[in-house]
Structure 1
């Protein structure tokens, strides 16, 4: 199923499961999918909205990066799921109220986060540095600026 998106002959579901939970585990520097599953359960028990949004953000990051045809070893390690899980949980309910508009904004920022991570990977690869949480940080700054400007009613359309 969906093996035409992958360069290697690995199962789509196996890569998706491991990358999703490794992405959640990367929030606490845990590289295991079982540690990520424990992290998800802890987050879900503390605040179920944050847990569901982090899981959906991690799934979105893994799925979109697979559909873009990015390197499966990087996807498998959970690096594309890490920033999108943080972004979805942060914008969706941690730093803002949980409503439909903020969730749709979080989905958009997750897509921007994947594009930023691809570009940072290219820029930082010459120095052999990881992109770390730069995409998440830039998405949060962008969200904060737009939210502040919208609150102050400084946005002009047209």
Structure 2
């Protein structure tokens, strides 16, 4: 929307860059969108909002002090990984005063990792996206076992051999799609909205709605792709018989949300063909997430957004071989 761009440009540069960094979590380099995202995070929880703020400020300042690309910094590209690092570490690790220092250090390193990956991936015209956040958080999560001042939180998966899911643990497939009661409508509403909110680790319906509004302010197509992604992240797991609790919490949906936005809106020309490709990518992301969750189970690490990153990379590399997308738009 034009008015949001006007507001974006009118803001002081430091504020504009920081807010764009928050917005770039959903590929939205718009300060107004970033502000809505940040407000939503504070609504979801004061600690999460503070952690995200500290993360984005730290990672952005780090990029500036290390002399990285001014254009990338202005676009907020050195902010979004830091934005994710903060809430992530506070979710998966036990709270302690030292954890704030841990978040700052992780945010600093996320900018260094991003710069390194940009250098590696740019010749292939492939974006680093949230891979610095994933790699940094994995490293810091595993590292806590060696530090007496930090303790894994109850949400961090316990290292174990993966086991077969014992059914849906709730409604049947038919009930999800054919029996429309207050309970099923509530489940769909909850799963769809939380699927968007969980991109920033927010288990909150209102946060998901605000995120979608923020995306729509930047791009209607982006919002549509995000909505399609969360639908894929509910429908496909239901059909395949995934754990119902995980579906309702949106934990199968947040990766397809990012994948479909990346493929169907950001990095390929926004056409009907790229929308179909985005749908295929979204479906594969669900399967990839389930596979990576089992692969990482023995070492007790969450998948985070790595399913999205992996599938996005595969599809962008594949697009470079197609006569329709020989030059991905990045």
Name the TM-score class by shorter chain.
Answer: 0.7 to 0.9
Distance in 1 of aligned mates of 2:228 and 2:242: 19
TM superposition shift of 1:127:
2.2
Counterpart of 2:231 in structure 1 is 59
Counterpart of 1:30 in structure 2 is 202
TM-score (norm. length: structure 1): 0.86
TM superposition shift of 1:114:
0.8
TM superposition shift of 1:128:
2.3
**Whose relative contact order is higher, 1 or 2, with alpha carbons under 8 Å and at least 6 apart?**
1
Distance in 1 of aligned mates of 2:301 and 2:230: 22
Distance in 2 of aligned mates of 1:5 and 1:12: 11
TM-score (norm. length: structure 2): 0.43
* Within-5 A mapping of 1:1-158: 3-5=171-173, 11-150=183-322, 151=326
Distance in 2 of aligned mates of 1:4 and 1:84: 23
TM superposition shift of 1:122:
1.2
- Unaligned ranges ≥5, structure 1: 153-158
Instruction: Please give the per-residue CA displacement for 1:12-51, whole angstroms capped at 9, x wherever unaligned.
Output: 3222211211111122332211101110011112211100
- Unaligned ranges ≥5, structure 2: 1-170, 176-181
Point out the structure with max Rg over C-alpha: 2
Distance in 1 of aligned mates of 2:190 and 2:302: 20
* Stretches (4+) displaced over 4 A: none
- Over the aligned positions, Cα root-mean-square deviation in angstroms equals 2.1
